[in-house]
Amino acid sequence: MQDDQVNRKPRYDVVIFGASGFTGKYVIREALKFLHTPSSPSPLKTLALAGRSHSKIAQSLKWAAHPNPPPPDLPILTADTSDPPSLRRLASQAKLILNCVGPFRLYGEPVVAACVDSGCDYLDICGEPEFMERMEAGYHEKAAEKGSLVISACGFDSVPAELGLLFNSRQWVPPAVPNRVEAYLSLESSKRVVGNIGTYESAVLGVANADKLQELRRSRPKKPRPLIPGPPPPKGSLVEHQKKFDLWAVKLPSADSIVVRRTLVSLTQNPRGIAGVHEDAEQIERRETFWSSVKPAHFGVKMGTKSLLGIFRVIAVGVFIGLFGKNSFGRRLLLKFPSFFSLGWFKKKGPTEDEVSSASFKMWFVGHGYSDSSLATSGNAKPDLEIITRVIGPEIGYLTTPIILVQCGLILLHQRESLPKGGVFTPGIIFGPTDLQERLQKHGICFDVISKNSLPA
């Protein structure tokens, strides 16, 4: 591999940073399933845990290993985002850091900087567009030079949306082409809908930094947009009743749609995908074949509930965050009383194990397009074909997110030579052509084709 990484002799395949956090302990539990697995080969031979408190990490490890005893030789390392030298020491010892310390706008950049300086690969579970785009603007060139792959949004934000769109797109067999794909997300639970407090905090900080994101985008060179056949989709109403799934839905200002658009822009710039360091002929063919089957489409995400009352609840929480998140006093209130302002969805202490295990998600992808691409260029022709696909899985914050993060990490360890040398990327452009979808299928995150129908004229 590149000189930077050849000269590095990291002690650990993976370091989980933020291992004492609520999400972190679930990531430990998931990673332990693949550490020294004699039944099936795993590239994860050495694992370390890192964070501010040795004792809290030890408690998380004990919880994660239950009912078995914790591995006796698993190192616990001390590092803090306010102490850059500790992060550089951490990154110098790792092939890959899985960062679970959020909100990332506050705590993420020092970890990215340490990884890039050391040539260490980096994955996180961020869902904050301003942070992700700022890391791309500030670190892409250096990461490419140093041989550090930096990939955010490797959790529920935003892999199900990315792979779900790519899966739907690939069902449009030529001459058919999609025009738009709308995702409808439904969170379900037999007890109560489980909220990840980190997601809530990220949403509050996202509102606070919306102006900074727009300023960042204006300061960067414009990139070519994907060519999507047909006219732009109509805006539609704020609230929609999707009869096919019996859901009431409202459009979300989602990180998923932003990450998907960044992937499609990357594909526009690299129609065959991004070449790996040392790909063989078979890997090159797989990558190019995969991307040749992907067609760009307009994409958006809507939150769905079974009742209209549930939609008003979603809107009310959005209004609270939108109004109070714009000034420092309002943000303090939002962050101090999350249960009140989220109408009970988010709590500081987090959900119980029973609540986590009872929850699940369904994400429908409704694609509208043309049975023949020539129809898209013939004046005001409306889409005449609909393809619906679906992604389903367990609870999003503490089960689905660790599954995705760990599987992305295992791919990096096992297939590093066939992946790009380095740079800051979205998960879709890197993991799309890999076996990530197949891996997720094996671990309870399933992709299905629901229907393919002609639309009335």
Q: pLDDT value at position 39?
A: 65
Check: CB of residue 129 under 8 Å from CB of residue 370.
no
The identity of residue 364, as a single letter, is W
What angle do the packed helices 129-146 and 210-219 form, to 10 degrees?
Answer: 40
Spatial distance between the Cα atoms of 357 and 389, rounded to a whole number of angstroms: 25
Distances (CA, A) of 389 to 160, 245, 246: 12, 12, 16
Helices (H), 252-399: 255-269, 281-292, 308-324, 328-336, 338-341, 353-358
Give the count of alpha carbons within 13 A of 457, CB side only.
1
pLDDT value for 326: 87
**How many angstroms separate the Cα of 403 from the Cα of each of 23, 24, 25?**
11, 12, 12
- pLDDT at residue 189, as a whole number: 87
- How many CB atoms within 10 Å of residue 214? 11
**Tokens at residue 101, please?**
């310390």
Residue 450, pLDDT score: 97
Question: What gap in Å lies between CA 387 and CA 457, rounded to an integer?
Answer: 16
What string of pLDDT tens digits covers the 457 residues of the chain?
444 444 567 899 999 999 998 899 999 999 999 997 776 689 999 999 999 999 999 999 999 999 999 998 899 999 999 999 999 999 999 999 999 998 899 999 999 999 999 999 999 999 999 999 999 999 999 999 999 999 999 999 899 999 999 999 999 999 999 999 999 999 988 887 667 777 788 788 778 778 888 999 999 999 999 999 998 888 888 899 999 999 999 987 888 999 999 999 999 999 999 999 999 999 999 999 999 999 999 999 999 999 898 898 889 988 999 899 888 899 899 989 988 988 888 877 778 888 899 999 999 999 999 999 999 887 668 899 999 999 999 999 999 999 999 999 999 999 999 999 999 999 999 999 999 999 999 999 999 999 999 998 7
| CA torsion through residues 140, 145, 427, 274, sign | positive
Q: How far apart are CA 455 and CA 91, in angstroms?
A: 53
One DSSP character per residue, 281-304 reads: HHHHHHHHHHHHT----EEEEEEE
Domain residue limits, the chain: 3-152, 159-395+439-454
CATH number of the structural domain 3-152: 3.40.50.720
Instruction: Output the pLDDT for position 218.
Output: 92
CB 295 within 8 A of CB 387: no
Strand 149-151 versus strand 177-189 pairing type: unpaired
Residue 384: burial class (beta carbons within 10 Å; 0-12, 13-18, 19+): middle
Six-digit token pair at 63?
């919880």
451: nearest Cα among 387, 396, 407: 387
What was the pLDDT predicted at 166?
Answer: 98
**Can you give the pTM of this predicted structure?**
0.94
pLDDT computed for residue 8 by the predictor = 65
Rounded CA gap, 266 and 261, in Å?
Answer: 9
Listing DSSP states for 393-439 in one string gives EE-IIIIIHHHHHHHHHHHHHHHGGGS-SSEEE-HHHHHTTTTHHHH
- Check if the beta carbon of residue 370 is closer than 8 Å to that of residue 381: yes
